Structure 1
Amino acid sequence: MATEAAPAPIVIEPVSHEPFEWVPRAPEMFSRAEVSRQTGRYDATVTAPIAQWHPLLSGEDSADVEDATRQLVEFDQHAQKKLGTDHPALGPMTAILLRTESASSSQIEQLTTSAKQLALAEIEEGDKANALTVIGNVRAMEAALQMADDINEDSILAMHRALLTHQRGLEHEAGRYRQEQVWIGTGNAGPRFATFVAPHHDRIPGAIADLVSFIDREDVSVLVQVAVAHAQFETIHPFVDGNGRTGRALAQSILRNKKLVGSTAVPISAGLLVDTERYFAALGAFRDGDAGPIVREFAMASRIAAKTGTWLVDGLVEQLDESRQEMKGIRADAAAWKVLPYLVGQPAVNTKYLMAELGLGEMAALRALDALTERGVLTETSGKSRNRVWQHRGIFGVLDAYAAEIRRMTVR
């Protein structure tokens, strides 16, 4: 019986290792047997330089990358055509796609939250700890896009600073390289039997400089560059926490830097979330000297992102159109029309948000909210006389359906 041939590898220099000695830092916290096991030599990873690496792809992989790239470009163009480049909802559409990407990226790290909890956290309502942590990822993604014109060491640190500033207990680590050995796998007392031991912290600045040089190149297919840069970043593991989320924010920054997409954010993490076991295995294969699996993961994730992202954009635009119909008869210069496009990106609002984002006075904000509520566009859900919150249930319905579709596709 014929078996399917394994894909051709995309050869890259594998990592190497260097020896260090380890003594548990707080031996009183562990059993004597564990202290004994974790005392002695361990091997830390040494990343191979990639600044001058030239990928050699098979015809099949080249076609795969080309097709995925085309679909990403078409998705970006679709969003522009749906709204028009000067439409006031285009910015909010980018905001909601960015938040969707951030939520998926966080879910890969087992940080789950809902669209509603995220929207409430944005207006400082609700008290879900995971939502507040994911908001940090949103800020990192925002920083990634804002600084996409010049990706360098400072911009990478800024992404991480934006991420961890909002993560309770780790604020002091925000925007700074780790100064200690870290590892992935069992064994809190030490790294000797870990699945992956990150490079020694002294190697981080040099490895990041090499990574930035690779990102600066213009002679590598963008999607290959994104996948390999991401895998290299995850291997460097430069931070105490938040490496995965920062690395996926970096992927967004590269896509924007290379002008592959320009008007929206691409929910690639939703594609990676579909099979996280395969994604993590691809990172392992990269470290062993084969970039093929991670390139294919990003190609597949890009196709999933384009398909599901198009569906999400269409659903949100449909809600916007329905709301416009419900608002017929409201004066053209009324503040309610100014509020409407912002609901795409922020479907839960309060007067404080409208005052800050739209520059409305408190009474004008309340009149707009009353008008939108009377027409059935918004529903007041807080039931309070103070700290009132209004929600667009149709937009939340689209976002919840999108999340359910991603869950349906996920390998369990």
Structure 2
Amino acid sequence: METGMTSVPGTTIAIYDSPHQFEPLLPQKRLDELVAKTRAVFEKAHELRGALCPPAREALRELVREMNSYYSNRIEGQSTHPANVSKALKRDFSDDPEIAQRQRIAVAHIEAERELEALHLTEAQALRSDFLLRAHRSLYGRLSAEDRTTSEGRIVEPGRIREADVSVGRHHAPAFASLPKFLARMDQVYGQAQGVDNVLTMIAAAHHRTVWTHPFLDGNGRAARLQTHTALSRLSGGLWSVNRGLARNRDRYYERLSNADMPRHGDLDGRGNLSEKMLWEWCDYFIDLCEDQVSFMARMFDVGGLRDRVKALVLVRSQSAEFRDYRTEAVLPLLHVLLSGSVSRGDFSQMTGLGERAARKIISQLLRDGLLVSQSHRAELRIGFPLDALNILFPNLYPEAAAANID
């Protein structure tokens, strides 16, 4: 099921069998540079969370879950169009068996992520190997045996450590019999993550060493990204996506992972078997990626720019027969719901300044289109972020959603 990684099970090859062979698990030099970048990410993430009202945070969190699923599966070469993912969440599956399978995998990822986030774990708890196994089980346990069958005909068992030796590209993964020792060593180091200064370095290094260890027969990348997302969730609040950054340049992601596989480059390159310099560069790349993603999302929710884009969306749609009930009077109440929180239908109507009938038409249209959501006819109105509005509301956030669906 995973592409970009070639597994050759059942062969006897000279591979790693002792945890000292994948040391260092953390870089030891130039830590001040990583700390400074980490603090900047924390500051921006805190500002972003403070800028959004609770209903907007929840709406964005749901959108980011869909993005995480799409981008993680895209990294593996198994994505389907975002519109298909959105349909699958409503149990609307394609008649094409391949598309339907990819829809089921996407939904399984979203549901697994929601379950794992709800555990409210610390970074240290999320970086432990028992959680990694749970992440793998949470994802693949939602899929049928058919959907868990690899192109080689092997069935992936949810949460089960592999029982065969594998080669991943040019990298010989640790002997399967030695995996418990490697995972235990990772727990000793990454299971101690705490504080602000080193947490992103811990998460980054754990991501690499997890993929390097290749604990499962298949699904290592997906499970590692679920673990990484969960470890970041206390910081991110689920409001920005590392998967988006990784997928936007998949080749660079794999290149950086591969570079950190390198053996030590002489006596000045740390004291472990693997290159400390390359591990540092991977961590630096990962922290930069976090900063880029949180900064991008913060720009999207800048009040001035957001006001202009809401106006543009309403104006563009008001010129279309398809959206005949859009009127510029909807801009102010829409902004209020987006920035301040949910409101009653009566209050929304009053903010339009229109008569009752015209205001009802606007509300009905916005509910049909998903810009407003409500649990019942009497419940308050909350903001929604439908896929077909993202190209105007949040340009370049999720450009694939606006592309033609050619699946």
TM-score scaled by structure 2? 0.64
1:137 paired with 2:109, answer yes
Residue-by-residue CA offset, 1:63-109 (whole Å, 9 max, x unaligned): 2x23432343234223322223xx22322322222332332222221
**Equivalents in 1 of 2:209, 2:72: separation in Å?**
17
CA distance in 1, matches of 2:401, 2:296: 8
In the other structure, the counterpart of 2:397 is: 402
Say which SS state the counterpart of residue 402 (structure 1) adopts: coil
Q: Is contact 1:252-1:265 (8 Å) kept? A: no
Deviation at 1:132, TM superposition (A): 2.3
Comparing 136-145 and 223-232, the one that deviates more: 136-145
Count of residues in Structure 1 that have an aligned counterpart in Structure 2? 312
User: What one-letter code is carried by the residue in structure 2 that aligns with 1:180?
Assistant: A
Q: 1:67–1:144: structure 2 CA closer, same or farther, 3 Å change rule? A: farther
1:74 corresponding residue in structure 2: 43
Distance 1:317 1:160, change over 3 A: farther
Q: For residues 259-310 of structure 1, what are the alpha-carbon distances to aligned partners after superposition, in whole Å with 9 as ceiling and x for unaligned? A: 5x15334311222223333322322332322212211220221122123332
Distance 1:98 1:254 in 2: 15
Question: Secondary structure in 1 aligned to 2:55?
Answer: coil
SS of residue matched to 1:88:
helix
Residue of structure 2 in register with 1:306 after alignment: 294
Within 5 Å, give how 1:220-231 maps onto structure 2: 221-231=198-208
Deviation by residue 1:115-139 (Cα, 9 ceiling, x = unmatched): 3222211121132332321222223
Matched, 1:232 2:209: yes
Partner of 1:62: 32
Query: Judging changes above 3 Å, is the alpha-carbon distance between structure 1 residues 132 and 397 closer, same or farther for their aligned structure 2 residues?
Result: farther
Aligned to 1:161: 137
- Structure 1's unaligned 5+ residue stretches are 1-22, 26-37, 186-194, 338-369, 381-389, 408-412
**In structure 2, what is the equivalent of residue 284 of structure 1?**
258
2:186 aligned counterpart, secondary structure: helix
2:390 and 2:398 in contact (8 A); partners too: no
* The one of 225, 243, 249 aligned to 1:248: 225
Q: State whether residues 143 and 158 of structure 1, in contact with CA within 8 Å, keep that contact through their aligned partners in structure 2.
A: no
Whole-Å separation in 2 of the counterparts to 1:253 and 1:281: 24
Q: What residue in structure 2 maps to residue 188 of structure 1? A: none
Aligned partner (choices 16, 19, 28) of residue 45 of structure 1? 16
Amino acid at match of 1:285: N
Q: Where has structure 1 moved over 6 Å in runs of 4 or more? A: 319-324, 370-373
Alignment of 1:362-401 (within 5 A): 374-379=364-369, 393-395=388-390, 398=393, 401=396
1:44 aligned counterpart, secondary structure: coil
Determine if the alignment matches structure 1 residue 122 to structure 2 residue 89: yes
Contact 1:183 1:196 in 2 (8 A): yes
Are residues 81 and 332 of structure 1, via their aligned partners in 2, closer, same or farther at CA, if it must alter by over 3 Å?
Answer: closer
After superposition, the Cα gap between the structure-2 partners of 1:198 and 1:81, relative to the gap in structure 1 and judged at 3 Å, is: same
For residues 205-229 of structure 1, what are the alpha-carbon distances to aligned partners after superposition, in whole Å with 9 as ceiling and x for unaligned? 2222221222222477112111111
Residue from 169, 174, 177 that aligns with 2:158: 174
What is the CA–CA distance in structure 1 between the aligned matches of 2:298 and 2:368, rounded to whole Å?
Answer: 25
Equivalence for 1:359: none
Counterpart of 1:73 in structure 2: which amino acid?
F
CA distance in 1, matches of 2:42, 2:78: 29
CA RMSD, 1 decimal: 4.0
SS of aligned partner of 1:401 = coil
2: CA distance, partners of 1:52 / 1:184: 20
Once the two structures are superposed, residues 128-185 of structure 1 have per-residue CA deviations (whole angstroms, 9 ceiling, x without a partner) of 3323212222234334423323334432222111222344134751122122223224
Query: 1:159, 1:246 within 8 Å by CA — same for their partners in 2?
Result: yes
Q: Contact 2:83 / 2:401 at 8 angstroms: preserved in 1?
A: no
Using structure 1 for the length normalisation, give the TM-score. 0.63
Unaligned regions of 5+ residues in structure 2, if any?
1-7, 150-154, 264-273, 315-329, 336-341, 349-359, 371-384, 403-407
Contact 1:102 1:134 in 2 (8 A): yes
Aligned residue for 2:13, secondary structure, equals strand
CA distance in 2, matches of 1:79, 1:312: 10
The residue that corresponds to 1:105 in the other structure is: 72
Percent of counterpart pairs with the same letter?
Answer: 17
